Structure 1
């Protein structure tokens, strides 16, 4: 849980908030996320997710496209001694991340957003928050 604003350094490194470091562990995976953000998974969660994605039917074009983009963007990461992670250029490009970014906790993953994209997303989605809540009531929350 949580939302933290951070800045990438000149080498494309991001300091992961200390609150998330223990949950991530020594090694974790970063990949393309949805809505122009990056998804970051602890290794255990990554293993669970890859098992589910492997079960998708490879005969379906949409399943092939999703898994190609999702897995080709995936990179195993390790934090340096200062708690920073290097975000590869391809992932920065996908996330439209230049300097200012937001790191948020979302259930079983962390998401990294450019500050501009996050503000745009929360502005647009915030207007529909109550509507969204009504639609997901069927999920037994």
Structure 2
């Protein structure tokens, strides 16, 4: 399980040091793809496989399902940690997420998210005012909250 928020930087070559607490869970090779809300999602192989199976069950006759699957898979890349615990994030994914220098790496249960620091701060500011309202809506999912 991935938890926590870590401040990092991306070097001039596009490499990001993956927080030590996330390295074991992600493994030596993992998948990074375009995420929602303007960030990147990183999945360990077993989580990616489970997600892939769910995506396969989407109705390919629906345009919105096809669009989402294309978005998610076309943006995906298999990445590998180097000996220093860094990952080279492909240029197209850095551009999508607005990753330049300062980033925030966040553990979200089964995945890791990589955010441009300014986007993360903006997202937190906007969502902070509605967290209680969101919690009330999702209590119907019986999360035990």
TM-score scaled to structure 1, two decimals? 0.98
Classify the secondary structure of the residue corresponding to 1:2: strand
Unaligned runs of 5+ in 2: none
2:77 and 2:14 mapped to 1: Cα distance? 15
- CA distance in 1 between counterparts of 2:95 and 2:137 reads 32
After superposition, residues 1-141 of structure 1 pair within 5 angstroms as: 1-141=3-143
- Could you list the runs of 4 or more consecutive aligned residues of structure 1 that deviate by over 4 angstroms after TM superposition? none
In structure 2, distance between residues paired with 1:79 and 1:26: 5
Structure 1 gap ranges (5+): none
CA distance in 2, matches of 1:136, 1:94: 29
**Distance across 1 between alignment mates of 2:4 and 2:113:** 11
Aligned residues: 141
Q: Distance in 2 between matches of 1:29 and 1:80?
A: 15
